[in-house]
A and B are shown apart, each in its own frame.
Chain A
């Protein structure tokens, strides 16, 4: 099973700042099978990015994704108040899906 590690665990930033979130896989992951989700308290996760760098429907362009192999990054160019949440990466491989432990982006 591929294990995903996310860093940092918590990112404390102010609105307007840039957020850079990392997702590292224990073995190589096809970019096609790497996705990112945003979750706010009391809500289900929401798909943000898929194929490592494609935005899901309705996701603003301040969100971008990059990476390949074992290292992937989610960047939020300028944080808006509604972006403070927990972010998870997810991969598919060998007929199973795994999620990372998440990065919490909170207000500094």
Chain B
């Protein structure tokens, strides 16, 4: 069974930083492309970023609102993907979901971790 478990969310002040982690199991993580998708309260989902598998180059892409502030990385030895979030803004407040990407769709989702950016 595929499991994605996010951690690291919490309350942070504007301008602060936070690192989210996502531990994966139940599939061959090293072959997987992974993404983060966020959802602000009462809003629809918003894609944040994607990291390809190392065999596919390990490159990353980001949505325009987070480009230059957020960085995705992966540790295949730990079956874990990370999201480093810097220069956080109030509009980054959302539930952040870790997803496994398959064929350009979000095949599997974690339960999410809440990030609140507030003074």
Would A99 and B46 be within 8 Å (CB), given that A37-B106, A45-B106, A50-B105 are in contact? yes
Range of interface residues on chain B?
20 to 34
Query: Inside 8 A of A90's CB, which chain B residues have their CB?
Result: 45, 105-106
Instruction: Decide: B44 and A100 in contact? CB cutoff 8 A.
Output: yes
A35 interface residue (CB < 8 Å to B): yes
Instruction: Decide: B47 and A35 in contact? CB cutoff 8 A.
Output: no
Instruction: Decide: A46 and B104 in contact? CB cutoff 8 A.
Output: no
Query: Inside 8 A of A95's CB, which chain B residues have their CB?
Result: 61
- Bound together, the chains give a CA A32 to CA B105 distance in angstroms of 10
- Bound together, the chains give a CA A44 to CA B104 distance in angstroms of 18
A101 interface residue (CB < 8 Å to B): yes
Interface size on A, residues (CB 8 A): 24
B78-105 CB mask vs A (1 if < 8 Å, else 0) is 0000000000000000000100000111
Instruction: Decide: B45 and A33 in contact? CB cutoff 8 A.
Output: no
Most buried by A among B64, B103, B108: B103
Identify which of B21-29, B69-77, B109-117 touches chain A.
B109-117
Nearest chain B CB to A3 CB, angstrom units: 12
* Complex: chain A residue closest to B106, CB-CB: A47
Instruction: Decide: A35 and B105 in contact? CB cutoff 8 A.
Output: yes
Which of A44, A88, A98, A102 sits near B109, CB closer than 8 Å? A44
Query: Inside 8 A of A32's CB, which chain B residues have their CB?
Result: 103-104
B63 interface residue (CB < 8 Å to A): yes
Instruction: Decide: B103 and A50 in contact? CB cutoff 8 A.
Output: yes
Which of B47, B108, B109 sits near A99, CB closer than 8 Å? B47
- Bound together, the chains give a CA A51 to CA B37 distance in angstroms of 20
**Residues in B lying within 8 Å of A, measured CB to CB:** 35, 37, 44-47, 50, 61, 63-64, 97, 103-112
